[in-house]
Structure 1
Amino acid sequence: MNDEARGAFATRGVGLAGFDAPEARGLPPAATGVRVSSASDTVSRRALAHGQEQLRDGPVADACSALLRAAAGLRETDPAAARRALLAAASAAWSAGDHDSYRRVFAVGPCHLCGAGCASTPCARGCPEAAWRDHRIGMSAMAQGDFRRAIAVLEPRLHQVTPRAETDELCDAGSVALLLGRLPLARRLLSLALASARAAGAETAVPGIIAYLACAELREGRHAQARAHAEEGLVLARRLGQRNVAADLSAVRALVVSIAGDLPTVRAQVAEVLAVAQPHGLAQAAFLAEWAQARAELGAGKVERAAARLAPLVQPGARQGHFGLWFLAVPCFVEACVLSDRALDAPEMVDLFAVWADLGADPQAPAQLARCRALLAPADRSEELYRAALAHHERASGPYEHARTHLAFGMWLRRRRRPTEARDQLRAALVGFEHCGAVLWAERAGAELRAAGEVAGTGEAGPLSSLTPQQVRIARGVARGATNKEIAAELSISIRTVEYHLRNVFAQMGVRSRTGLAHLLANVDEDHGRGWELPDRG
C-alpha cells in the first residue's frame, strides 16, 4: 500500500452502508433569513411526498432532486421534516451512484444556533443541534475515507440506542453499524427495528429494513438467513408496489444464489433486477446484480467471462459500477484475472483494495487481501500469504470466504506436489462450502480433493474407471467441447499439463481424436445416466 494508492482510493469514493445508505446526514446551506410562506411550505411538503414515492418506485435521480428541494424549503418551518428529506435524498444519491450529490448532502456548514464554524468543529455544549452536527461530522469523515475519525464520532452513540427506541432510530443506528463493519451489532439493531416496525403496523417501512438486515447477514456470511429475509422482503415489496426496494432485495438474493452455482437461476434473477434498475437509474442494484452473475460465472469455471464482467465494475472510469461499492468485487476480479491469464490487470486493484482493508470497516477484507496477494505472488511468497489469510479468517466470521482461501491454498499445494498438505486444505474447503450451501464450489473442492489422491475412487464406470480423477475431468471437458486453454483455466493447471494428460487419455481409451473421445463418452453417459462434470464454457 502506498500514498498513490491512498490518493486514488479517496478520489474514487467510499461510503459502504450495508449497500444502501439512508443514514446519510447533512443540511443544505444556511437559510436566507426570509420566513417561508405557507404556500411555499405546502409546495415543499408535496416535493417531500413525491420524492419519497419516487425513491420507492421511480427514477432515483428525480427523487434526489425533489428531496433536496423539499429539505431546503422546510428547513425554517419544520427542521425535523427537512432532516427526513435529507436522509431520503442521501439514500437516492447512493442508489443512483451519484457521488457528487451524496457528498453535498454530507456537507457540514456553520451551526445556525451556536455558530460552530468549520466542518470538524462540534457544537457548543447544550446546543440542540449537537447530536445532529456530530452525526454529520462523522458521516462527512466517512465520505472522505477517514474511517478512524468516523468511528470515533459515530460508534459511541450506537451503544446508547436501547431496544425501546423508535423504529427510525433503530434502523438508522443499525445501518451506521453496518457502515462501520460492526456486523453483530448491526444485525441486533436492525432486528429490533424490524420487530418495532411490525409491532407498530408500519408495513411500508418493513421491506427497506429487511433489505438492510439481509445485507448485514450476507456480509457476515449468513447466506441462508440472508436469502430467507430477501425472499420475505420481496413478497411484501412487490405487493406494496416498491419496485426499487424489490430490485435491491432481488440483487441480494442473486448474490446468495450465486455461490450455489445455479448459473441459469442467477441469470434470470439478474435480468429481473436490471429490468427495473436500468430505467430507474439504480446503480447500486445493477452493481450487485452484475457482481452476482460474475461470481456465479467464476464458480462455474467461466473465468474469462467473469473477468470481463467485473473489469468495468471495479476499474476507474465512466462505466464504474458504483462509487461506494466497487471494492467489494475486487477479490473476485483478482481471482478471475489470475485464472484467465489477465494477471496484469490485477496488481493495481490489489493496492487499492489494501487501502479499503486498512480502513477497518470490513472484517473479511484483511483475509481477502492476503489471498489476493498470494494469488499474484511468486512461489516463494505465496505460502506465507495463504497462511496469513487463514489466520485473518480465524478472527472474522464468514465460512464462504474462508473456504475459498482453503481451496486456493489447497490447489496451490497440489500443483507443487504436496498432496498430503493439499488434502488438509481441500477437506476444510469442502466442509466450509457445504456449510454455507455453495454447491458448485463444494463439487469443485471435492474434485480437487480426489485429484490430490483422496481415497474415495472416481466413482466412474466402464472405460473411465482406468483414469485418474484429473484425467476424467479433462476427458469430460474435451467431450463437452472445451478447449485445452479453457480446461487449464478451470483446473488451474498449465495447457502443457492438459496436453500431457490428454495424450494418456487417448492411449488408455483407444481413441485418436477429440471427436472420438466425445462419441465414446456420450455412449458411457447414456448408459449410466451421468452429465458432464465441466460446465459449458460457451
Structure 2
Amino acid sequence: MTGPATVERPLRLYGREAELAAVNRLVGRVRAGHGGALVLTGRPGLGRTALLAQAAHAFRSSPAARSPSGGGTTVLYTRAAAPEASMPYSGLHALLYGADDEPPTDVLRSGMPPAALLGLLRSLAERGPLLVCVDDVHLWDTRSRTALGFAARRLDAPYPVGLVLTVAAHRADDPALTGLPLRQLAPLTDRAASALLDELARTGTDAVVRAELLAEAEGSPRLLHDLVATLDPDQLRGRAPLPYPLVPAEILRRAYAAYVRVLPDGVRALLLLAAAAGEAEPSGYAPVEVLLRAAAAWADTGPADLTAAEASGLLSRTDDHVRFESALLRRSVYAGEPPARRRAAHTALAAVLDGAAHRLLRLVHRACAARGVDPALADALAAAATQPHHGHRRRSAALARSAELTADSNKRAARFTAAADQARLAGDTRAARALVAQARRLPTQDGIRGQAELVHGTLALRDGPVADARETLRAAAHLLAPHHPAAAAEARLGAAEAAWSAGDPAAYLDALSPAPDAGPLGDYRTGMRAFLDGRWDQGRTALRRCIGRADSATDPALLLRAGAAALVVGDVEAANTANTRALAAARTRGTALLVPQALEHLAYSELRAGRHASAGTHAHQGLLAAHQTGQRNTAAHLHAVLALAASVSGDAEVCAEHAATALAYAAAHGLAQAAALASWALARTDLALGRMHEAAARLDPLVHPGPRQGHFAVRMLAAPCFIEAVALVGEPARGRATLARFTDWTAATADPQAPAQLDRCRALLAHPEEAGDLYLLALAHHDRAGGDFERARTELLYGKWLRRHRRPREARTHLRSALIGFENRGARAWAEQAGAELRAAGDTAGAAAPGPVAALAGLTAQQQRIARRVAEGATNREVAEHLSLSPRTVDHHLRNVFAVLGIRSRVELARLVNKTEDTERLRRTDDRETDLPAEYGESCRPYR
C-alpha cells in the first residue's frame, strides 16, 4: 500500500549530505521498528520538496522490517494547498485519502481529535512500517497542524511510524511543531551548485556563462534548473548572447509568489516598499526611516510590520538600513506584485525623499512610477545623472530610466547609449549590451549612432571576435569624426587595439593613419605607428612624452596606455609604475571594467621584469575579475600569462591547461597575441624539460614574419628561446636570420634584459673560439640588468658549453650559480636540468637536508600552493577557483603531493605544512639573532 503515485525517483541532490544523512537515519529507525519525525525548513527553491521526495523514495526502495502480519511499507505523501488553509481538518483529509482504497471517513467525520490521529497512524503501522510525508505543512489548517504535531511528538516503538515534514523558514517556529527535530536548508555552496550545473548542462558551459548562472541562482537548485532550461546549447557554450535579464519575470514570480502571498497585508506592503527601494538603489539598501515614513503614508503600516517582515526571513536589518537576504528575493517580491501596486510603492517612496541629497533617487522613483513618456521628468533625470559622484551603476540606472521616458528618438538613443557606457564601466557588461542594443535599434543621427557603435565595439573588443570589434569601431570613427573628434580618436584607438590583438600590423597602422591628435593620445598614436614603421628614434621620442605625461595622470585608461608605451620602448620599471597606478585608479573610481585590464598589463610588465611569481598572482586576480565582468578576451590573455608563469616554474600540466584555455579562446575570437603567448609558454616548458626539438618546432612559426601563427609584438620576445632551441638541436643556421632581427630590436629597445640575451644568443650560434667570451659578456650585462631567471639561463648554457669543452671545474661554478638562481625563482624543472648538468660535471647538487622543509621543497611551485591551501582547509573546488584551475587538475596534483610526501590524508598534510611553517619561523628568528652585532653580547638575544 502506497500513497499518491506522483512522487517519482528524485534527481541526485548536491550539497545536501547532512540533510540526506538525517533522512536516512529516520528511515533506518522506522525500518528497525521505531518511530520518529524530522522537519525540513528553508526558503523556497532550496530543495525541501526534493528532500521529501528522496525520503519517500529511500523508504520505498529499502528493505523494511516486516510486521507480524507480514505487511509491506506504506508511504502517505501530500502537498498542502493554500486555498484550503481555512477549512478545518482539510490537511488531514488530503493526507488520509491516500491511506487506503476507502478513506477513513468515519474518523474524519468525528472531527479528528489529535489522539484519534495518533491511534489511526499506529493502526496503519500494524500492517507494516509507515512514512508520512507532508510538503509545506505551514499551509495546512491550524487543527490539522496541531493534530499532526501532537502525533509526531508521541511516535516511538513499537510503532514504526516516521513523519517528514517541510515548512517555510518564516513558519519554522510554529507552536504546533515545537519539539520536533529541525533541519535548516542553506543555499548550495559554490562547489555543490557547480556540480549540479555540470549535471544539468551536459553539453558544457562557457566559463563566463557558468559564472553568470551561478551568481544569478544564488545557491538555489530550483532556480538553477529553471535557468538552464531557458537556455539553448549555444547560449550555454557562450556562442550566442545570454538574454537580459537572465532570469525571466515569470520565473521570479513563480519562485516566491506562494511564499509571500500568505503574509499579512502590512508585511507585504513593507516588503514591496523595500523591493522598490532596491529597484532604484544599486546597493539594495533601504533606509529604515524612509521605509517607515512611506509605509505609514501609503499602507498605514508601522514598525511592528517591519519586525514581522524581518521575521519572515526575507529582510535583514543593519544599523539604520534594511535589505533583502538576496537580490533574487528582492526581484521576486517585486515581480510578484501587479504593476499598479509597484507604481504606488515608488510614488510613496518619492514623496518622502526630500532635499537635494536625494534628488537623483527621488527622480528615479518618480520615473519608476510614471506611465508612458514624460519629457520633462526625463530631462531632469538625465541632468541629475551627469554628476560623477553618484557612481557608474547608479548613473546607468538613472540614464536608462530617463531613456524610457524620452519620446525623441535621438535623445532616447543617446541616453540608452550613455546608460550602456556607465554599465560597461561598472563591469555589468550584459546590462551594457542590452542597453546599447536598444539604442542601435532606434533611427538616429550619425553622431549619436556613432556613439552607440563606439560602446558596442568597445564591448566586443573585450568579449567577442576582435575582427568584428575592429570593423564596428572603424565604422564608429567614421560616423563620429564630423561631430565628436575626440570620440572618433578613441574609436580609432579601439580599432587599433583590436588589430593588435588579432596580430594584423597593416590594420593597426591603418587605424592610426589619420592625422595625430594633440596631447597624450596623439603622442601614443604617433609613437606606436613610428615603431611599427621601423622609425624607432621618432617612436621612442613620442612614446617617452606619453610616459612622462602619465606622472600626473589619474585616468586609469590613460595610465594603461602609458604602461603599454613603456613596454614598447622597453622601460619595464616605468611600465610597472604606470600599470600599478592604473590598477589603483580603476579600483578607487569604481571602474570595474578596467580592473582586469590593469591586472593583465601589470602582469605583462612583471613578466618582462622577471617577477614571474608576482605576475602569476596578479594574473589570477585578473582572471577572477575578467570572469566577473564578462571579459573573455581579457581572460584569454590572462590564461596565457599564467601559462608563461608556469613555464618558469616548470609545471608542465598547469602550463598546458592554461595554454589550452587561452588557445581555445584565441581560436574562437581571433586573438593572435594570446595564442602566440600561450604557444611561447608551451615551448618554454619544452626547453625546461629538455625537449629541444619540440621547442624549436613550436617557436619556428612565432619568430618569423608573415601570416603564420605568430604575433609581431611577441616575435622578438620569443626569439632568444628559438635561437637556444635550434642551437641545441644542432641546427644553428635556422637561427641566424632571427638573430639579425633580434640585434636590430635590441638596439631600438631599452629592455634591460635584451643586451644580455643578445650576447647569449650570439654565443649559442658563434664559433667555439668566440662563444666563451660572448657568454662572459652576457653575464656582465646581467650584472647591470638584474633578473635571476634570465641570468640563471645564461649560467646554465655557459656551464653546459664549458662541460662539453672539457672545462668541468669552471662549468661547476656556473652550473651551481644557475641552480641557485632557478631555485630562488621556484623554477623546479630548470633547476633539475641544472642539477643534472652539475652531476654530469662531477658534482652532487642540491642534496636537501631532511625534515619538513626539505619535504615540501620536493614539490613543484604549483603543488606547494595547492598543498598550503588544502592545509588551510580549502576543498578541491575552492582551491581550483582560487588558482583558476579545474578541479580535476587540483585532484591530480593533490594525489602527486600525497605520493611525494608519503602521506595519505589531508590531516597529515596540514600537520606537515604547519610544521614546515614553524621551522621556517624558527629559522628566521635564528637569522635575526645571528645578525645582531657582536658587541651587544649574549644578553641581547631574544628569549625563546
TM-score of the pair, normalised by structure 2? 0.42
Q: Find the aligned partners of 1:326 and 1:337 in 2 and give their Cα distance.
A: 16
Q: Find the aligned partners of 1:457 and 1:223 in 2 and give their Cα distance.
A: 23
Displacement of 1:155 after TM fit? 1.0
Q: Find the aligned partners of 2:507 and 2:562 in 1 and give their Cα distance.
A: 22
Q: Which residue of 2 aligns with 1:386?
A: 775
Q: Find the aligned partners of 1:162 and 1:313 in 2 and give their Cα distance.
A: 35
Q: How is 1:119-518 mapped onto 2 (pairs within 5 angstroms)?
A: 129=518, 132-163=521-552, 165-454=554-843
Q: Which residue of 1 aligns with 2:452?
A: 46
Q: Is the 8 A contact 2:527 2:543 kept in 1?
A: yes
Q: Is the 8 A contact 1:163 1:192 kept in 2?
A: no
Displacement of 1:43 after TM fit? 2.1
Q: Is the 8 A contact 1:254 1:269 kept in 2?
A: yes
**What's the CA shift string for 1:10-54, capped at 9, x where partnerless?**
xxxxxxxxxxxxxxxxxxxxxxxxxxx952123212211221111
1:67 aligns with 2:456: no
Q: Is the 8 A contact 2:503 2:671 kept in 1?
A: yes
Q: 2:461 aligns with which of 44, 55, 65?
A: 55
Q: Find the aligned partners of 1:456 and 1:231 in 2 and give their Cα distance.
A: 33
1:91 aligns with 2:497: yes
Q: Is the 8 A contact 1:259 1:296 kept in 2?
A: yes
1:100 aligns with 2:506: yes
Q: Which residue of 2 aligns with 1:78?
A: 484
For the aligned residues, what is the CA RMSD? 2.2
Q: Is the 8 A contact 1:294 1:307 kept in 2?
A: yes
Q: Find the aligned partners of 2:546 and 2:648 in 1 and give their Cα distance.
A: 36
Q: Relative to structure 2, which stretch is displaced further, 361-370 or 132-141? A: 132-141
Judged with a 3 Å threshold, the aligned counterparts in structure 2 of structure 1 residues 59 and 414 are, in CA distance, closer, same or farther, namely same
Q: Find the aligned partners of 1:217 and 1:238 in 2 and give their Cα distance.
A: 22
Q: Find the aligned partners of 1:73 and 1:190 in 2 and give their Cα distance.
A: 32
Residue identity matched to 1:208: Q
Q: Find the aligned partners of 1:182 and 1:95 in 2 and give their Cα distance.
A: 21
More strand by share: 2
**What's the CA shift string for 1:133-182, capped at 9, x where partnerless?**
44433222112122222222221342343355222222222221122111
Judged with a 3 Å threshold, the aligned counterparts in structure 2 of structure 1 residues 302 and 200 are, in CA distance, closer, same or farther, namely same
Judged with a 3 Å threshold, the aligned counterparts in structure 2 of structure 1 residues 274 and 161 are, in CA distance, closer, same or farther, namely closer
Judged with a 3 Å threshold, the aligned counterparts in structure 2 of structure 1 residues 58 and 428 are, in CA distance, closer, same or farther, namely same
- Give the match's secondary structure for 2:708: coil
Q: Find the aligned partners of 1:342 and 1:189 in 2 and give their Cα distance.
A: 41
Displacement of 1:235 after TM fit? 0.7
- Give the match's secondary structure for 1:363: coil
Alignment length, in residue pairs?
409
Computing the radius of gyration over CA atoms, which structure comes out larger, 1 or 2? 2
Residue identity matched to 2:471: S
Q: Which residue of 1 aligns with 2:892?
A: none
Q: Relative to structure 2, which stretch is displaced further, 226-235 or 447-456? A: 447-456
Q: Is the 8 A contact 1:320 1:326 kept in 2?
A: no
Q: Find the aligned partners of 1:235 and 1:425 in 2 and give their Cα distance.
A: 41
Q: Which runs of 5+ in 2 are unaligned?
A: 1-442, 849-898, 903-944
Q: Which runs of 5+ in 1 are unaligned?
A: 1-36, 112-127, 460-525, 530-538
Q: Find the aligned partners of 1:426 and 1:204 in 2 and give their Cα distance.
A: 46
Q: Relative to structure 2, which stretch is displaced further, 341-350 or 96-105? A: 341-350
Displacement of 1:290 after TM fit? 0.6
Judged with a 3 Å threshold, the aligned counterparts in structure 2 of structure 1 residues 397 and 154 are, in CA distance, closer, same or farther, namely same
Q: Find the aligned partners of 2:543 and 2:657 in 1 and give their Cα distance.
A: 40
- Give the match's secondary structure for 1:214: helix
Q: Is the 8 A contact 1:357 1:366 kept in 2?
A: yes
Displacement of 1:76 after TM fit? 2.2
Displacement of 1:425 after TM fit? 0.8
Q: Find the aligned partners of 2:449 and 2:846 in 1 and give their Cα distance.
A: 74
TM-score of the pair, normalised by structure 1? 0.72
Percent identity between matched residues is 47
Q: Is the 8 A contact 1:450 1:458 kept in 2?
A: no
Displacement of 1:419 after TM fit? 1.8
Q: Find the aligned partners of 1:130 and 1:57 in 2 and give their Cα distance.
A: 29
Judged with a 3 Å threshold, the aligned counterparts in structure 2 of structure 1 residues 41 and 431 are, in CA distance, closer, same or farther, namely same
Displacement of 1:320 after TM fit? 4.0
Q: Is the 8 A contact 2:666 2:672 kept in 1?
A: yes
Residue identity matched to 1:239: Q
Q: Find the aligned partners of 2:501 and 2:845 in 1 and give their Cα distance.
A: 50
Displacement of 1:406 after TM fit? 0.5
- Give the match's secondary structure for 2:550: coil
Displacement of 1:456 after TM fit? 5.8
Judged with a 3 Å threshold, the aligned counterparts in structure 2 of structure 1 residues 333 and 228 are, in CA distance, closer, same or farther, namely same
Displacement of 1:341 after TM fit? 2.5
Higher RCO, Cα 8 Å, sep 6+: 1
Q: Find the aligned partners of 1:95 and 1:387 in 2 and give their Cα distance.
A: 38
Q: Is the 8 A contact 2:476 2:488 kept in 1?
A: yes
Q: Find the aligned partners of 1:108 and 1:43 in 2 and give their Cα distance.
A: 21
